[in-house]
C-alpha cells in the first residue's frame, strides 16, 4: 500500500532519497567489521571492547498528535507525541541499521524485540552491540552488552561503565548530528501525516550517512532534555533470551586486568 504525505513535493523528494536505501547497511566484508571493532576499541580507550560491532539506541521524533482513538499511544513518557527510530551505528556515527515506526509510548526493549535485528545474524559470533541501561544485557538471540546498573558497586564495575559509556555514546552523537543537520525537521513536530513520518526519518538517516561518507561532519547541538535511561530487570520483559551478564563480568575482568585509561582519571565521583 502506498503511503503519502498529501504533499506531492514531499513524496517525490523522499521517494528519490529512499531509492538510496543501500546506503544504510551492516559491514559487508571481514575488513569492514575489523575497522568497526577497532574503532570502538579506540572510542572506549580499551582493547577489551575490540569485539564491539555497533551501538544501539532509540530516538523519539516529535509528531503532530494523531487524531482518533489510538492517538494517545504516541504520547511518550515526556508527554509529547512521537515516533521511535531505533538505530545501530558504527564507531564514526554512520547508521548500520534502522527500524522506525513504533509509537512513542512503547519501550525501547519492546521495539528491539520486534525488530528484524533481534533475530538477525548480526553481529557475528564472539561480537556484541553496546546498549544503555534501558535494554537487557543479552547473549542470545542478540548479543547486547549494557552497563552495570545503578548503584554501581566496586571500582571494577565503575571502570567498566566508564569505558562502555565512552564507546556507546557515539549513537547519541549520531542522533545529535542528524537532528542538528535537519533541525527544521527534528526540532519541531513534523507537519506530515504520522503514517508518512517513518519515510521522512529514514530519508534523513540516509542523507546523514551520505554526508559522513563525504566527510561532511557536523557537531551536534546540545539537547535541552537529553534522553534518560529507563532501567529494568536484565533479561526481563518477557524476552526469550539468555542473559549476557556473565559475558559482561568477563569483559569487566579484562578491563581491570588490562587497564588502559589515563592514570589521572578518577572513577569514583
pLDDT digits 0-9 by tens, 135-148: 999 999 999 999 99
CA 260 – CA 129 distance, rounded (Å):
21
Give the C-alpha separation, 223 to 172, whole Å. 11
Q: How far apart are CA 157 and CA 103, in angstroms?
A: 34
Q: Tell me: the pLDDT tens digits for 164-194?
A: 999 999 999 999 999 999 998 898 898 888 8
Question: Could you identify the residue written with the cell 535541552?
Answer: 224
How many other β-carbons are positioned within 10 Å of the β-carbon of residue 119?
A: 11
pTM: 0.85
Instruction: Give the contacts of 175 (CB within 8 A, at least 6 positions apart).
Output: 57, 59, 85, 87, 220
What the block records as the C-alpha cell of 159 is: 571502570
Confidence at residue 2, expressed as pLDDT on a 0 to 100 scale: 33
Q: Which pLDDT value is given to residue 152?
A: 87
- For 140, counting Cβ atoms within 10 Å of its Cβ (0-12 exposed, 13-18 middle, 19+ buried), the class is exposed
Q: What is the pLDDT of residue 240?
A: 59
* Closest C-alpha among 104, 110, 76, 48 to residue 259: 48
Answer for the pair 100, 75: CB distance below 8 angstroms, yes or no. Answer: no
Amino acid at each position: 500500500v502506498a503511503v503519502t504525505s498529501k504533499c506531492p513535493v514531499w513524496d517525490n523528494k523522499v521517494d528519490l532519497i529512499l531509492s538510496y536505501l543501500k546506503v544504510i547497511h551492516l559491514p559487508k566484508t571481514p575488513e569492514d567489521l575489523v575497522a568497526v571493532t577497532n574503532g570502538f576499541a579506540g572510542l572506549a580507550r580499551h582493547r577489551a571492547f575490540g569485539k564491539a560491532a555497533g551501538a544501539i539506541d532509540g530516538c523519539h521524533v516529535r509528531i503532530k498528535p494523531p487524531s482518533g482513538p489510538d492517538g494517545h499511544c504516541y504520547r511518550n513518557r515526556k508527554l509529547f507525541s512521537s515516533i521511535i527510530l531505533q538505530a545501530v551505528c558504527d564507531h564514526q556515527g554512520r547508521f548500520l541499521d534502522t527500524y522506525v515506526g513504533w509509537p512513542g509510548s512503547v519501550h525501547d526493549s519492546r521495539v528491539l524485540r520486534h525488530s528484524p535485528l533481534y533475530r538477525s545474524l548480526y553481529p557475528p559470533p564472539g561480537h556484541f552491540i553496546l546498549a544503555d541501561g534501558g535494554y537487557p544485557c543479552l547473549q542470545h538471540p542478540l548479543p547486547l552488552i549494557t552497563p552495570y546498573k545503578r548503584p554501581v558497586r566496586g571500582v571494577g564495575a565503575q571502570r567498566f561503565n566508564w569505558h562502555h559509556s565512552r564507546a556507546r555514546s557515539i549513537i547519541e552523537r549520531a542522533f545529535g548530528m542528524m537532528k542538528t543537520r535537519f533541525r527544521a525537521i527534528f526540532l519541531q513536530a513534523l507537519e506530515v501525516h504520522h503514517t508518512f513520518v517513518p519515510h521522512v526519518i529514514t530519508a534523513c538517516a540516509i542523507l546523514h550517512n551520505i554526508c559522513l561518507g563525504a566527510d561532511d561532519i557536523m557537531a551536534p547541538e546540545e539537547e535541552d532534555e537529553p534522553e534518560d535511561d529507563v532501567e529494568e530487570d536484565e533479561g526481563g520483559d518477557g524476552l526469550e533470551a539468555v542473559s549476557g551478564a556473565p559475558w559482561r563480568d568477563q569483559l569487566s575482568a579484562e578491563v581491570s586486568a588490562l587497564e588502559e585509561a589515563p592514570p589521572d582519571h578518577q572513577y569514583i565521583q
